[in-house]
Amino acid sequence: MTKAAASTPVPYASNSHSLPAEDPAFRVFIDSLSYLQPEEIQLIREAYRFGDAAHQGQKRLSGEPYITHPLAVAGALAEWHMDAQAVIAALLHDVMEDTVVTKAEIAERFGKSVADLVDGLSKLDKIEFQSYEEAQAENFRKMLMAMARDLRVVLIKLADRLHNLQTMSAVRADKRRRIAHETLEIYAPIANRLGLNKLFRQLQDLSFEHIYPMRARVLERALRASRGNRRELLSRILDGIQGKMRDAGIEAQVFGREKSLYSIYRKMAEKHLSFSQVLDIYGFRVVVGDVPTCYLALGALHSLYKPVPGKFKDYIAIPKANGYQSLHTALIGPYGTPVEVQIRTESMHHVAQEGVASHWLYKDSEESGADLQLKTHKWLQSLLELQSTAGDSSEFFEHVKVDLFPDEVYVFTPKGKIMALPRGATAVDFAYAVHTDIGNHCVAARINYELMPLRTELCNGDQLEIITAAHANPSPAWLSYIKTGRARSKIRHFLKTMQHDESASLGEHMLNQELRALGVDPGSVEATGWEQVMRDSGGKSMKDVYTDIGLGRRLAAVVARRLLPRDEALHPEGSTPAALVIRGTEGMAIQLAPCCQPIPGDPIIGSIRKGQGLVVHTHDCPVIRKSRGSEPQKWIDVEWEPEPGKLFNVRIRITAKNARGVLGRIATGISDVGSNIENVSMEEQSPGLYTVLHFIVQVSGRAHLAQLLRSLRHVPEVVRIARERE
């Protein structure tokens, strides 16, 4: 908000001065409340007195009395015909933040609902944050949670942001740009998501003017000049459409519309066009009586001007997620001019302009308002779900920003249900949109009856069926290509939980090993020892302590000694901790280093890395040579379990003579010993004579690898073969 420079809150003055009855802005505001009951208008007058007194002495940076800002915000809500509670909350939306007025005082004077709305709009100024970004994320989370409980919170916030953007001339240029960037990134997409199309365009254009003032002025001048140059052409198209509607016996309102400055600028930037190359600056809107007439009007237009193939979109049959409905078509007009036309009913037009606010504005219109309320409620519920699985405010903020996509693709479930997903969404996003369990256990997708990888991007009209397996789990690799905040949140939550459980198991194993090395049976450790360790570490349970050990946050040897009375916490003479036995299948808590790719049979050593768990290397790995010498305390002895029961990746390098069928013979040799090929790449040496083949193969251990190498040496064309390390 554009606030007064005063750093301390202004106390509420009980002797509030009289209403400025002569003030034109206040008179216009009161006149705009004619849709409310007289007693409600009287309560709003009292709220104005209360807010005016609370902000007494405060001024905006422009020098105006501060009350002019809440009055303008309340006026915007009156335009949407919001109820009295919302209008009162708009008048008081800054009193808790900027004055000493409390939530209890507001609740006593104007009711609990108003107090909750004002509280949802107040920033968390009393809490210390590490950074501006952290404060922004936490304030945003608070607002969205309040919005999930009551949609009026975000409508007041959006009206507040609009007025701030309209009156920021006195604010520092860097702060103007920061607020404008935040608006483009968060508040404009929220307005779009709620179907507030008119407000969405206003927020975008005002933000654009604050971020790039010179570009906005140049573009506006070019648009004005273009408007004059094209006036005759536009009049001809408008007359042609109106005449065609009359000839077809269709009663319709036809009017031209101009693209917003920001949408023109974005098109120029994204497609590298000059202003003169952006031909679809103007479009036309046809508003008719009912849905069947929309399709009649479409047919009439297609007989007037030729349609552009592939440019027709039916958002009536399949509405956008924000409730928007219209028929969109692109036509080739006079002189080859492209013409965009939108066809819709009156109620669709209300929803397209005002979105969820149309629920208050046009209560007697078709059921589209109620339907939109339902869709919005579902979206808000999904935000509450994200909130429950997000680790902190910043992560939640990231998930929500991802979900505020303006473009969508519409896909079908096997039963024909339509689902809207952001453009670029994959089969994994779809699986999580259906149900968390389906996402967590998906292994493949059948798209339009064909088996496809999970990373496949979805297209409009795709029909999807997700194939699941009980043993399957989410992969960290999915995070690199999913698009929806819901999928990202659910995958991260699963991986964190899995890592936590696996790390706890590893930590328990390591601690028990240390206790045995000290000559103590782990089951005989007294409860007082555990209580002392948990008190020192701040852990709530033994599992928390185990997890800290498994993740490298605490040393098992230190914890083991603290668990024991001082006289017992000594190594028996000559004893050393036994080597940690691993299978290599423990999951995320134990990682096999990619540099040396250890396999059973290799001599191995482990390093506990803070927050990552145990990383296992071969003894002779060149990557760790330096750190083993300089930081020996960070390394622990590790051994393979006799029968790990898993295949491990290993790299081999083969130099072979160029000959027909050599790759097939090598692949057969690998297959004959029961090994799998995970990956293969080639590079040519001595052109025409030799080729170097790099394989990643899967073996059960060192003995299996030796058997594989012997098998490949029997291939006549193989000149040299060796295990590869980075």
- The verdict on whether 97 is a catalytic residue reads yes
Is residue 271 located within the same domain as residue 151?
A: no
Is residue 149 located within the same domain as residue 272?
A: no
Is residue 164 located within the same domain as residue 236?
A: no
Using the 3D structure, point to which of 369, 398, 431 is the last residue of a domain.
369
Backbone angles phi, psi at 278, to 5 degrees: -85, 100
Residue closest to 559 by CA, chosen among 507, 603, 601:
507
Q: Which two tokens stand for residue 651?
A: 């790299």
The residues, ordered by sequence, that sit 6+ positions from 527 with a Cβ below 8 Å of its Cβ are none
State the amino acid at position 700 in one-letter form.
S
Using the 3D structure, point to which of 369, 392, 422 is the last residue of a domain.
369
Is residue 106 located within the same domain as residue 205?
A: yes
Is residue 166 located within the same domain as residue 276?
A: no
pLDDT at residue number 343: 93
Query: C-alpha distances in angstroms, 235 versus 48, 242, 681?
Result: 47, 10, 64
Is the separation of the CB atoms in 270 and 263 below 8 Å? no
Please report the sign of the dihedral spanned by the C-alpha atoms of residue 486, residue 490, residue 491, residue 493: positive
pLDDT at residue number 294: 93
pLDDT at residue number 302: 92
Residues 706 and 341: their CA atoms lie apart, in Å, by 71
The residues, ordered by sequence, that sit 6+ positions from 421 with a Cβ below 8 Å of its Cβ are 408, 409, 411, 429, 430, 433, 458, 483, 484
Residue of 52, 94, 98, 160 marked active site? 98
**Cα atoms in the 13 Å half-sphere on the side-chain side of 532:** 14
pTM of the model: 0.59
Residues 378 and 714: their CA atoms lie apart, in Å, by 65
pLDDT in tens, 327-360: 999 888 887 777 889 999 988 888 777 766 665 5
**Cα atoms in the 13 Å half-sphere on the side-chain side of 73:** 32
pLDDT at residue number 18: 41
Is residue 189 located within the same domain as residue 268?
A: no
CATH number for position 338: 3.30.460.10
Is residue 224 located within the same domain as residue 300?
A: yes
- The stretches in the chain having pLDDT less than 70 are 1-22, 123-148, 228-229, 279-281, 355-407, 499, 535-540, 550-555, 557-558, 561-562, 565-579, 583-589, 608-613, 629-630, 632-634, 643-645, 685-688, 726
Is the separation of the CB atoms in 315 and 327 below 8 Å? yes
In three-state form (DSSP H/G/I as H, E/B as E, the rest C), the secondary structure along 166-222 is HCCCCCCHHHHHHHHHHHHHHHHHHHHHCCCHHHHHHHHHHHHHHHCHHHHHHHHHH
Is residue 262 located within the same domain as residue 362?
A: yes
Is the separation of the CB atoms in 708 and 699 below 8 Å? yes
pLDDT at residue number 204: 92
Is residue 168 located within the same domain as residue 281?
A: no
Position of tokens 């944050």? 129
Using the 3D structure, point to which of 177, 212, 247 is the last residue of a domain.
212
Residue of 83, 97, 408, 465 marked active site? 97
Looking at residue 725, the DSSP 8-state letter turns out to be -
* Mean pLDDT score across all residues of the chain: 78
- The verdict on whether 98 is a catalytic residue reads yes
State the amino acid at position 399 in one-letter form.
H
Beta-bridge partners for 341: 284, 329
Is residue 60 located within the same domain as residue 125?
A: yes
CATH number for position 707: 3.30.70.260
Residues 380 and 386: their CA atoms lie apart, in Å, by 10
Burial class (CB in 10 A: 0-12, 13-18, 19+), 584: buried
